Amino acid sequence: MTDFLRLKHWEVLATHEQVHGHRVDARFADTPAACLKCGADGALYRHGVIRQAVNDTTHAGKPVVIDWQRQRYKCRSCGGTFLQPAPDIDDRHLMTRRLVEHIEQSVLRRTHVAVAEEVGVSEGTSRNVFRAYAERMEARHVFQAPAILGIDALHIRGRARGVLTNIGDKLILDFLEDRTRDLVYRSLQRLEHRERVKVVAMDMHRPYLTVTRLVFPTAIAVVDKFHIQRLASQSLDALRKLVGKRVSRRRGAFIKRNRHVLLARPVHLRDEQKLLLAEWLAEIPELRTAYDLKEQFYDIWEENTEAGARNALHAWRAAVPPQLARIFKPLLTASTNWEPEILNFFATQGVTNAFTEAMNRNLRDVDRAGRGYSFEALRIKALFSHGVVKYRRPARLGLQRRDLAAKQLPAHLMPFDLPAALGIPLSTFVTALKQRL
């Protein structure tokens, strides 16, 4: 009989080629020398045979099923029984280990349905195999909590996905299917040395703040300035849309095409854009008021102290006229409800989540890619499959890390330097996502 299986110590008894694949009658020739339960030597005797159907990798493009005549053994010493072990078989999934590895790697590039059809198993089996693989990868990669943690969202396939980042080292810690409180909490609990976290930068998603207070009770929560400032621009743009409906269609379309003139800071405008802006603001007084409010809100972050920023914020809210209160309501509400966390920006010398915002921009083309992927497979590939995890060596005693010292954090916010896995570089993360999609 030919060596159809190409597996050591396996004896092929017969092969049957069928329309949808191959069935192979086989047995494993190697026998255990000692009892697997008590370890007694020479106390085993055969105790019957059972037949098990074991899936294997494809042969000539067709699925293979091994009908294994598996020996049962009984021990004279302890009376225990067990099935014949075989190093080539994964008993958890009842398939060969090489098929398990094939499914694990194939699902990183294709859907569960396609992989299951190729190897002749159910979609559920494919998912179970990959889930076990994901659990092993999770257990193998436990990252150290950073001094400055970022909790934000990435928008992939039309949904906000939670993301944890090491802001100081610009690394990815975790990529979550959703951003619910429980999911974020479980991910944060996996971090080692959580007492190291001194600052947590986040967007204005209330579950983030709730979880932060539970996991890092002594950390300072900071609302990322880009999220709160964005509300000022969105309020101005909402008024721009109302103005566009009042003027002629041609005029409204022109303003819409050039809305970046309104939304950009004046320092970033060219001379001809400044002239256009001056024309609009002189022509529409209501737009002038809203534009000035937007600029005044951005100017709050030019303050040097927390007290100065607080006074400027209170003055700004008082300056919003009643006729624009509805337009600026989202910003008025957020700046009131999140005032302590907004002002913590100044207490931490300007910690922001700019790294995550840059990551969002890098992934715009990823979001436009193909559909139908498994998010679990996407996450594992992006985080772990490239084998690129950044580690930090311990610094010499008494020396602070230069990159964190350069941020001029207060002394009580400086972390100790410990050797540990830090996270995944952004370039690796983005590349993995693009390849997966």
Domain edges within the chain: 1-90, 92-133, 148-223+363-436, 225-347
192, 237, 420 from 401: Cα distances, Å: 19, 43, 15
Give the model's pLDDT for residue 3.
78
* Span 1-10, average pLDDT: 82
- pLDDT of 190 strictly over 50: yes
> What pLDDT shows up at residue 91?
92
393 pLDDT exceeds 70? no
In DSSP notation, 369-423 reads S-S---HHHHHHIIIIIT---EEEPPPPTTPPPHHHHTTT--GGGPPP---EEEE
**Is residue 185 within 8 Å of 137, Cβ to Cβ?**
no
Mean pLDDT is lowest, of 125-129, 256-260, 372-376, for 372-376
Taking 80 as the threshold, does the pLDDT of residue 20 lie above it?
yes
In this predicted structure, the answer to whether residue 369 has a pLDDT above a threshold of 50 is no
Q: Is the pLDDT of residue 49 over 80?
A: yes
Q: In what order do the strands lie in the sheet with 148-156?
A: 220-223, 199-202, 148-156, 159-166, 171-175, 420-425, 390-392
| Confidence bin at 417 (pLDDT 50/70/90) | very low
Q: Helix %, strand %, coil % for the chain, to 5? A: 45, 20, 30
Does residue 197 have a pLDDT over 80?
A: yes
pLDDT band of residue 405 (cuts 50, 70, 90) is: very low
Helix (H, G, I), strand (E, B) or coil at 284: coil
pLDDT, residue 15, reads 92
The mean predicted confidence, pLDDT, of the chain is 85
Q: How deeply is 298 buried, as exposed, middle or buried, from its count of CB atoms within 10 A (0-12, 13-18, 19+)? A: middle
Q: Are 287 and 243 in contact (CB under 8 A)?
A: yes
134-164 pLDDT tens trace:
888 888 778 889 999 999 888 777 788 888 9
Tokens at residue 166, please? 């090491």
Q: In this predicted model, what pLDDT tens digit does every residue of 102-139 receive, in sequence order?
A: 998 888 778 888 999 999 999 999 999 999 998 888 88
Across 379-418, b (16+ Cβ under 10 Å) vs e yields bbbbbbbeeebbeeeeeeeeeebeebeebebeeebebebe
Check residue 153 and give its pLDDT: 86
The arrangement of secondary structure in 148-223+363-436, i.e. its CATH architecture, is 2-Layer Sandwich (3.30)
Pairwise CA distance, residues 13 & 67, whole Å: 10
Q: Is the pLDDT of residue 422 over 80?
A: no
Q: What does the pLDDT read at residue 404?
A: 45
Query: Which pLDDT does position 433 carry in this prediction?
Result: 63
Query: What is the average pLDDT across 177-201?
Result: 93
For the cut 80, the answer to whether the pLDDT of residue 384 exceeds it is no
> Of 48-57, 223-232, 254-263, 364-373, which range is least confident?
364-373
Predicted local confidence at residue 363, as pLDDT: 58
pLDDT at 121: 94
Of all residues in the chain, the percent with pLDDT exceeding 70 is 84
Total residues found in the chain within this entry? 437
Amino acid 412: pLDDT: 47
Least confident piece of the model among 24-33, 266-275, 342-351, 404-413: 404-413
Mean pLDDT, range 23-47, rounded to an integer: 91
- pLDDT, tens digit, for every residue of 318-367? 999 999 999 999 999 999 999 999 999 999 988 988 877 776 666 555 55
The answer, yes or no, to whether residue 249 has pLDDT greater than 60, is yes
Cβ atoms of 303 and 312 within 8 Å: the answer is: yes
